[in-house]
């Protein structure tokens, strides 16, 4: 890594509302048995087409229906939680600079708008994204500035009380589990194989691409892995372990380490912290020690509870923990929204959308993909962004492709009609109101505190089972083909 300079520019503090307990729901890959037949058929007749793979991946990735236990965070969810947004400028060379934003939630101490921050209050990193600003010239040769969002990550943390054994289930983890299995299977010790230490969240901090919040991405990666390695083994005669190992280095699967993150890296090097084992956040004192201008850029205005009307989420939204369409699909939409907002450079966005053709005049009113959006207020991650409309448009398009596409088909029997009303804040929570088949009277509202996404992410399995299941899935599908 090149020498980098990281400068703290802003530290904005705010406060969330009380929440219902959240539940763990992780990404799963569920192939219809018919689809497996189709894959098999294609493989026997010359190889699986990428198009088929995409098709199947789109339909087969989903959140697991059954919740896998409650998410545990420090002091529980039923409290108003302080959150903070840190903005850094990261310089690595002259022509480019990038802005790094990190969202954290606060734990402990006596921090408030009146009294200021308590030195013992700790900041738990939740997610981060960076925008790249580069100096280029336009087609006429005039110098111009381009800004793009170039990385979006979330942090993954285990149970803060160390009571539950949780594992990360990013595609990378499933691949490592399968790799471990392939290796131990080769020398006959597979019975003793008990999983990958790298995926274990009980004692470490991991990072995950926000793309992993998209179940379709997850299923596509796993299918690609299965098919690619299967081909390598059967056609090129490679050892399975080698084939998986080779595939794991591809960029679409690989994950970065927290040590690569400029914020974490600076904190660790200045404070001489060399291990993230038992990481429980950075305290305000530590922050002030590392960033000497911390007190100057501090903004506690939004932490003042008297400035806002009381909005108790527990009274206005449904609780989690059941198995019904509303909850499963609302959770999926909320996770997806977090990723798509960041990927498209939006800080917050309020919209309603539906794939019910009777509500937008059928094909005539279709904006593409059989889905209609009514956009509301939106906010960019960049200051003075001139391209807001473009960002909203691309959000709508991407959200349609990754979320609505699998619920929308050309004919009535292929559709699940969904009405969504969403309000999503990167620096706050995501609220989803969902109803099916035009039954507004049966709509349900869920509030997803996405500032806990480091604990509640769909890339975390509430039990070892999730990873085991994915692992045996890969192994089974390999044997089946």
Partner 1 sequence: MNELNKLYKAMLLSWNTLVKSDGRILLDLDGEEYPITIDGMNLYLPTTDVLDEVAVGKVFWHPACEDITSKETEVFKVLRKVTCLRLLNAFRSIPPVLFAVSGTKPKNSWNQRVLDLLEPLKGAKSGTVKELVDLFGRLHVEVEENGLDNRFVHFKTTKSSGKLSKISGEKVYYSTKPEFPFYNELVRRIARTEGKTDNQQIEINNHSVSRAAVKLAIHLFQFIVPAVLSPDDHIHEANSPIAARMVSYLNCYADIAEQINKIQGTFRSEFAKAGIHPISLSWTEDLENLPEWYKQVPKMDYNTHNTHEETVHQAAGRQDFAGLMSVSSNVNQAPVQQTPGTQVQQAGAGIDPLTGFVITPPPQVLASDRLTRYECNFATGRVTHYGVDTLTNLPVMYICTRQGSFLERQTPNPGAGMMNMLGGFNMGMGNMGGGGMNMGGMNMGMGQPMMLPNGMIQLPNGQVIHPSQLNQQQPVMPTGSPSVTNLDNNSGSGFGNSPAWG
**Residues that bind partner 1 in the complex, under the rule CB under 8 A:** 23, 28, 30-31, 33-34, 36-37, 40, 64-70, 188-192, 321-324, 328, 465, 468-469, 472-473, 476-477, 479-480
Q: How far is the CB of 420 from partner 1 (least distance, A)?
A: 19
Specify the residue, 152 or 470, whose C-beta has the smaller distance to partner 1. 470
Closest distance of CB 475 from partner 1, Å: 9
Please report how close the Cβ of residue 365 comes to partner 1 at its closest, in angstroms.
30
d(CA 106, CA 87): 16
Backbone dihedral region for residue 11 (phi beyond 0: left; psi -120 to 50: alpha; all else: beta): beta
Of 37 and 301, which CB lies nearer to partner 1 in the complex structure? 37
Give the nearer residue to partner 1 in terms of CB position, either 38 or 238.
38
Least distance (Å) between residue 458 CB and partner 1:
15
As a three-state string, the secondary structure of the chain is CCCCEEEEEEEEEEECCCCCCCECCCEEECCCHHHHHHHHHHHHCCCCCHHHHHHHHHHHEEECCCCCCECCCCCCCCCCCEEEEEEEEEECCCCEEEEEEEEEEEECCCCECCCECCCCCEEEEEEEEEEEEEEEECCCCCEEEEEEEEEEEEEECCCCCCCCCCEECCHHHHHHHHHHHHHHHHCCCHHHCCCCHHHECCCCCEEEEHHHHCHHHHHHHHHHHHHHHHHHHHHHCCCHHHHHHHHHCCCCCCCCCHHHCHHHHHHHHHHCCCCCCCCCCEEHHHHHHHCCCHHHHEEEEECCHHHCCCCCHHHHCCCCCCCCHHHHHHHHHHHHHHHHHHHCCEEEEEEEEECCHHHCCHHHHCCCCCCEEEEEEEEECCCCCCCHHHHHHHHHHHHHHHCHHHHCCCCHHHCCCEEEEEEEECCCCEEEEEEECCCHHHCEEEEECHHHHHHHCCCEECCHHHHHHHHHHHHHHHHHC
CB-nearer residue toward partner 1: 91 or 193 = 193
Nearer to partner 1, 203 or 472 (CB): 472
Distance of closest approach, residue 472 Cβ to partner 1, in angstroms = 5
CB of 51 to partner 1, least distance (A): 22
* Residue 137: C-alpha distances to residues 105, 140, 141, 145 (Å): 40, 8, 5, 8
Q: In whole angstroms, how close is the CB of 385 to partner 1 at the nearest point?
A: 40
Least Å distance, CB 40 to partner 1, is 7
- CA distances, 474 to each of 28, 57, 170, 222, 246 (Å): 12, 14, 14, 8, 16
Nearest-approach distance from CB 462 to partner 1, in angstroms: 9
Nearer to partner 1, 3 or 479 (CB): 479
Nearer to partner 1, 105 or 473 (CB): 473
Q: Which CB atom, from 30 or from 350, has the smaller least distance to partner 1?
A: 30
Of residues 282 and 473, the one with the C-beta less far from partner 1: 473
Considering beta carbons, is residue 257 or 472 the nearer one to partner 1?
472
Question: Smaller CB distance to partner 1: residue 67 or 125?
Answer: 67
| In the complex, least distance from residue 163 CB atom to partner 1, rounded to whole angstroms | 15
Cβ 178 to partner 1 shortest distance, Å = 13
């Amino acid at each position: 890594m090149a020498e980098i300079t990281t400068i703290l520019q802003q530290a904005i503090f705010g406060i969330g509302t009380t929440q219902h307990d959240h539940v763990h729901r992780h990404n799963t890959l569920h192939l219809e048995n018919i689809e497996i037949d189709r894959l098999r058929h294609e493989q026997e007749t010359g190889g699986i087409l990428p198009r088929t793979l995409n098709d199947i991946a789109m339909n087969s990735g989903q959140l697991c229906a059954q919740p896998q236990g409650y998410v545990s965070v420090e002091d529980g969810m039923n409290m108003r939680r302080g959150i903070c947004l840190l903005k850094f400028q990261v310089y690595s060379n002259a022509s480019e600079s990038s802005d790094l934003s990190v969202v954290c939630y606060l734990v402990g101490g006596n921090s408030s708008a009146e009294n200021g921050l308590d030195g013992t209050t700790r900041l738990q990193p939740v997610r981060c994204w960076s925008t790249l600003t580069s100096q280029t010239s336009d087609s006429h040769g005039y110098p111009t500035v381009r800004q793009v969002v170039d990385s979006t990550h979330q942090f993954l943390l285990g149970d803060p009380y160390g009571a539950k054994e949780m594992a990360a289930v990013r595609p990378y983890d499933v691949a490592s589990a399968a790799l471990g299995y392939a290796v131990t299977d080769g020398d006959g010790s597979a019975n003793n194989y008990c999983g990958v230490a790298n995926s274990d969240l009980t004692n470490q901090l991991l990072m995950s691409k926000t793309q992993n919040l998209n179940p379709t991405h997850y299923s596509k990666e796993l299918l690609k892995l299965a098919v690619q390695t299967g081909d390598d083994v059967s056609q090129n005669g490679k050892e399975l372990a080698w084939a998986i190992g080779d595939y794991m280095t591809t960029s679409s699967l690989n994950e970065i380490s927290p040590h690569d993150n400029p914020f974490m890296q600076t904190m660790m090097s200045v404070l001489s912290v060399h291990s993230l084992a038992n990481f429980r956040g950075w305290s305000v004192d530590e922050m002030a020690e590392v960033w000497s201008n911390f007190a100057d850029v501090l903004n506690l205005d939004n932490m003042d509870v008297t400035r806002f009307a009381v909005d108790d989420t527990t009274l206005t939204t449904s609780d989690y923990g059941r198995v019904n369409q509303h909850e499963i699909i609302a959770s999926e939409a909320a996770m997806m929204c977090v990723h798509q907002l960041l990927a498209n450079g939006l800080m917050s966005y309020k919209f309603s959308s539906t794939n019910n053709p009777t509500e937008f005049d059928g094909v005539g009113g279709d904006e593409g993909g059989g889905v209609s959006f009514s956009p509301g207020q939106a906010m960019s991650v960049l200051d003075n962004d001139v391209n807001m409309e473009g960002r909203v448009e691309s959000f709508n398009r991407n959200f349609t492709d990754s979320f609505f596409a699998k619920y929308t088909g050309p004919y009535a029997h292929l559709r699940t009609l969904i009405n969504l009303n969403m309000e999503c804040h990167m620096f706050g929570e995501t609220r989803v109101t969902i109803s099916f088949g035009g039954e507004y009277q049966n709509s349900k509202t869920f509030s997803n505190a996405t500032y806990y996404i480091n604990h509640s992410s769909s890339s975390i399995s509430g039990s070892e089972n999730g990873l085991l299941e994915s692992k045996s899935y890969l192994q089974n599908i390999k044997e089946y083909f």
